[in-house]
Copies of this chain bind each other. A is one copy, B any other.
């Protein structure tokens, strides 16, 4: 029995967050109510406005509250580079890790015929128009190194070559700081076969 049904509802609602089970939900609910009500109010408001106002960028399909996102509308970005990624978190990861100053195109998924996800679901028709109308010098393919991600990469590579655009793929191999001993076999096999000449 809980002393408060509303507290029970809050604990239940918190479980929509990934990685939050009953115990964490309880800890979070009590923390907010006992120690950080202003933080909880801010969170409620941030959730509400994000959910109400965030849609997709007309140009790159990334999440944004504007018709065209901050990256696409930034005149300082290099429009000759276009990087294709699977999801908004990939954009964040590349922005945080690299000095990349080009533009993005976010598929919001990957080709997966078994799940019924075809080119039209990933906005590849939009991308096709874009490659034709605002041809970049280079298409950087940064889909994930999974079976579907690789199939998507091949599809993108063919699209680029049909417009005579140089397509590149980000490299895959043993992670920096990683050790061969603890790296999985397929990564090692890939790293081995795609070895580069050193001089």
Task: Flag if A46 contacts B2 (CB, 8 Å).
Answer: no
> Chain A 6-31, CB within 8 Å of chain B: the 1/0 string?
11011011101111000010111111
Stretch at the interface among A53-61, A116-124, A126-134, A169-177: A53-61
Whether the Cβ atoms of A7 and B63 lie closer than 8 Å is: yes
Number of interface residues of A (CB under 8 A): 63
Q: Is B64 a contact partner of A4 (Cβ separation < 8 A)?
A: yes
At the interface, yes or no: A36 with Cβ under 8 Å from chain B? Answer: yes
Partner of A51, one of B40, B53, B71: B40
In angstroms, Cα B125 to Cα A24, docked, is: 33
Q: Which of B2, B6, B57 contacts A49 (CB 8 A)?
A: B6
Q: How far is the CA of A2 from the CA of B87 in the complex (A)?
A: 13
Most chain B beta carbons < 10 A, residue from A4, A10, A30, A70 = A4
Q: Closest CB of chain B to A16's CB: distance in Å?
A: 3
A180 contacts chain B at the CB level, 8 A cutoff: no
How many angstroms from the CA of A51 to the CA of B38 in the assembled complex? 9
- For A27, the chain B residues whose CB sits under 8 A away are 18-19, 89
CB <8 Å contact, A88 and B44: no
Secondary structure at the A interface, as helix, strand, loop or mixed, is helix
Contact across chains for B13 and A17 when beta carbons are under 8 A apart:
no
Tell whether, in the assembled complex, residue A13 and residue B65 are in contact, meaning their CB atoms are under 8 Å apart. Answer: no
Q: Give the docked Cα–Cα distance between A49 and B32 (Å).
A: 13
Q: Is A50 at the interface (CB under 8 A from chain B)? A: yes
Residues of B within 8 A of A92 (CB): 2, 26
What B residues does A60 contact at CB under 8 A? 3
Contact at A3–B43, with CB atoms within 8 Å? no
Are A70 and B32 also in contact (CB < 8 A) when A40-B51, A48-B41, A51-B40 are? no
Most buried by B among A14, A16, A37, A42: A16
Count chain B CB atoms within 10 A of each CB in A24, A54, A70 and give the residue with the most: A54
